[in-house]
Amino acid sequence: MDEKKLIFSAIQPTGTFTLGNYIGAVRNWSSLQEKFDCIYCIADMHAITVRQEPAKLRQHSLESYALLMACGIDPQKSILFIQSHADTHACLNWILCCNTQFGELSRMTQFKDKSQRHPDDINAGLFTYPSLMAADILAYNADMVPVGVDQKQHLELARNIAQRFNQHYGEFFKVPKPYITEVGAKIMSLQDPTKKMSKSDDNPNACILILDDKDTIIRKFRRAVTDSDTLVAYREGKDGINNLMSIYSAVTGKNYDEIENEFAGKGYGDFKTAVGEAVADHLEPVRTEFAKLMADRAYLKQCYSDGARRAMKISSKIVSKAYHKVGFVDRA
């Protein structure tokens, strides 16, 4: 019997996930655990590259952990842990930083973007965190990493670092491959459908949070920007309707032709309401399970502690071997 491939992925604890996070990434993670050995983590170490309020970071980390479970990540099937609870990531990060070129890091588009957004705190961690991302992946010798468009550059760097290490110290790290999910459309802002949906948007109606209540979700969809046409159809130049159709397709399983037929002769108002109701109903089990998990902090702690123990069991062996490869004296 073939050994299962190992997949690693992480998400930052920036509060409640958006509908875009859910459809584009998180929802697909639960199906992956049926086919692969999966390791998922809450990337709280990455989060502090931007100044965080400590109490909020702790709360957001717990909420993000509970949300992943509510979205279908089973801590018995997958390893689910909080990044800072596995110190192997930080240990391997230093070795990988020493195998990453300054020029490579300076070309990272996210560093440029975040530097512009946070000009008063352009810290070294913000510059080197792609090396930490590589450590996250290579600490488990992951075969594959699910990636969106905005993470392809970082995964390519992780591949380059692994190859450079192997060339210098001998074959050791697997060179991780991108795993492109079959579904998971890129979800755009409801108020400016040319931009990606983001919780940092100044307009609160632009973004759906997966813990929004049903009335809020429907209200936001009713206010979604469309166009002056009346035809519900996926066409070039109809960014707003295309986005809503992508969302409706993702939560109902209907293809674009079926959606066009369903709303033939109906106006945008009917369509936007239907999308809102479908999304709200689809997310209801997530909201219910999240509330249940957050009410049982002892169970949550049990889960993330066990996840960290299992993560450390794998990564400590790999990091110890990497230490030996670079010439560090073996530890007891």
Catalytic residues: 114, 196, 199
Residue 321: how many CB atoms within 10 A of its CB? 12
Tokens encoding 1: 């019997």
From residue 233, alpha-carbon distances to 70, 129, 218, 237, 239 in Å are 33, 42, 21, 11, 11
3-state DSSP assignment of residue 60? helix
Lookup result for tokens 């007891």: 332
3-state DSSP assignment of residue 52? coil
User: Length of the chain in residues, anyone?
Assistant: 332
- 3-state secondary structure string, 247-304? HHHHHHCCCHHHHHHHCCCCCHHHHHHHHHHHHHHHHHHHHHHHHHHHCCHHHHHHHH
End-to-end CA distance of the chain: 36
How far is the C-alpha of 162 from the C-alpha of 138, rounded, in Å?
A: 8
Nearest residue to 91 (alpha-carbon basis) of 137, 145, 132, 46: 132
Side by side, which strands form the sheet with 144-146? 79-82, 37-42, 6-11, 144-146, 177-179
Could you tell me if 322 and 328 are in contact, meaning their C-beta atoms sit under 8 angstroms apart?
no
Quote the Cα angle for 212-70-143, to 5°: 120
How far is the C-alpha of 218 from the C-alpha of 220, rounded, in Å?
A: 5
